[in-house]
Amino acid sequence: MISSFDTWQITLFSIAVGLASTLLILPFGIALAWLFARKEWPLKSVVETAVLLPLVMPPVSTGLILLKIFGRRSALGQWLYERGIEIVFNWKGVLIAMSVMSFPLLVRSVRTSFAEVNVRLEQIAATLGASPLKIFFVITIPLAYKGIVAGALLAFSRALGEFGATILLAGNIPGKTQTLSLAIYNFVQLGKDPEAYTLLGITVALAFLFVWSSEWLLRSEKKVY
Amino acid sequence: MASGQKKERRFGMFRGKRLRKLCSSAVVVLFLVAWAQTCARADEILVSAAASLTDVLNDISKSYQAKSKNTVRFNFGPSSGLARQIEEGAPADIFFSADLPQMDALDKKGLLERGTRKNLLSNQLVIIVPADLKLAISSPKDLLKADVKRIALAEPSSVPVGVYSSKYLTDEGLWDQVKPKVVPVQDVRATLASVESGNVEAGFVYKTDAAVSKKVKIVYEVPIDKGPRITYPVAIMKESKQKDSARDFMNYVSSPVAKDSFKKFGFVVLD
């Protein structure tokens, strides 16, 4: 049977890095979602498609691209390596894989929330003398916060369930980069079904909890006029 | 037009159409039967084989399929994973493992065809590094150097090359210090790929795997007498639905022509 310490370590590690990745993408996701919802610019559709790609491409494809970008032989990888930063086969690789894969979900969710905020309210605030920054933080965000939280929850669930990109970029190293999904895969490969089922139960419970919360938040969102 | 006229015309047309339909269907069916007959005589056998055998078996099967009506399909991977698949019902006709424990596991479950199991090959363990590595590594002890941060190894608890390597390092008293640096990968070819990528400093593969890659270099060959005894057994599966074709391919794989191929790729042929 899997030791309770290992289960604990794997679960905590997955949640910790998942949380970190969600917090990491939050500012970028919100900013980009606002730009998508409020602004138009040439080649906007190209950016929108690029952001959506990790959601529809096979995760291993995204993982391979990340491996090529951050691997030791690439320009970026070399530069980081010389400064003592290792991405491949490291928890930082897990962080990046999770961030990239969950980013599109966050952007989509937040963008929808921003789009549902009545522009007129923002315009009224402007006529009353509020600066664009003030409008954003006092009017837009509070009205959209449910969608933002729902998007963050969804992104976090996606990060927890990440497998393909993680295993390519960070490897499946027990104690160092092994997340819940990687550990399940490992135990199945080794024929250790009881351990795999234990972790399966945890992933199902966590996913259920977070996705349910996300949906609940979105359902309770009321239209404001 | 009167409805009666219409009906008659339709009836006449219907009769002709039906006959034409019948004729074309018959032709199609005849073709299918003839085609199925030719296919039925040729078998497609599935061989689950250790990843290290990829190049040599592809080579051998090419010459086999040139002279046989059968086709050979390969399922390469870690012998441990392949054995698990067969235990779960994978329809392999032949299993070619890189170590004895995996074959024994199937034997214990009664999945091997009586009298078909035999030890065919042996191999040698080597330590490889990326071809452009600047670090000096020339013995297993060098793996303990602080500059050697990561060592690729196929899952040491199950995949044959991982089991052989970890046992060898344990015997040398180095495993405890090497273990924290190990990046476990799926099989010996994944190990090779990791070392080629340069994202690890070293890895353990078979000599035959190092031979197929120009992007790695061998820095240490584990002496055959000091290292683990490596044995590649092969057997026909009891559940195989085409044992005769399987036997035919097995015989070919044990023939002098095939043995020359194995030697060409660097394998040790057991007689």
User: Does A61 map to a domain?
Assistant: yes
pLDDT computed for residue A32 by the predictor: 96
How far CA B121 is from CA of A118, B5, B86, B210, in Å, comes to 74, 83, 21, 17
Q: Is the pLDDT score of B10 beyond 60?
A: no
CA-to-CA distance for A181 and A9, rounded, in angstroms?
A: 13
Question: Which of B150, B183, B199 lies nearest to residue A71, judging by beta carbons?
Answer: B199
Query: Which CATH number goes with the domain that contains B134?
Result: 3.40.190.10
User: Does B63 map to a domain?
Assistant: yes
One digit per residue, pLDDT tens: chain A, 225 residues?
667 778 999 999 999 999 999 999 999 999 999 999 999 999 999 999 999 999 999 999 999 999 999 998 899 999 998 898 889 999 999 999 999 999 999 999 999 999 999 999 999 999 999 999 999 999 999 999 989 999 999 999 999 999 999 999 999 998 899 999 999 998 888 878 899 999 999 999 998 998 898 888 878 755 554
CB A156 within 8 A of CB A171: no
Give the domain range for residue B243: 41-122+232-269
Yes or no, beta carbons of B84 and A191 under 8 Å apart: yes
CA-to-CA distance for B216 and A44, rounded, in angstroms?
A: 44
Which of A149-153, B6-10, B220-224 has the lowest average pLDDT?
Answer: B6-10
User: Does A31 map to a domain?
Assistant: yes
Sheet holding B118-122, edge to edge: B71-77, B44-50, B94-96, B232-236, B118-122, B268-269
B151 and B92 housed in the same domain: no
Residue found by looking up tokens 């837009």 in the block: A140
User: Does B18 map to a domain?
Assistant: no
CB pairs under 8 A between A and B: 38
User: Does B209 map to a domain?
Assistant: yes
Q: Which of B149, B199, B216 is most worth mutating to test chain A (most A CB atoms within 10 A of its CB)? A: B199
Yes or no, beta carbons of A89 and B200 under 8 Å apart: yes
Count of structural domains, chain B: 2
Yes or no, beta carbons of A189 and B185 under 8 Å apart: no
B81 and B110 housed in the same domain: yes
Yes or no, beta carbons of A173 and B84 under 8 Å apart: no
Query: Please, is B100 exposed, middle or buried when counting C-beta atoms within 10 Å of its C-beta (0-12, 13-18, 19+)?
Result: middle
Q: Which of B200, B221, B242 marks a domain boundary? A: B221
Partner B contacted by A143 (CB < 8 A): no
Query: Which CATH number goes with the domain that contains A199?
Result: 1.10.3720.10
B205 and B154 housed in the same domain: yes
B113 and B242 housed in the same domain: yes
Angle between helices A193-219 and A4-38 (to 10 degrees): 30
How far CA B171 is from CA of B125, B166, B176, B228, in Å, comes to 14, 9, 11, 10
Give the domain range for residue A197: 4-116+145-219
Count of structural domains, chain A: 1
B143 and B107 housed in the same domain: no
B194 and B147 housed in the same domain: yes
B189 and B142 housed in the same domain: yes
Q: Which residue of A has its CA nearest to B157?
A: A190
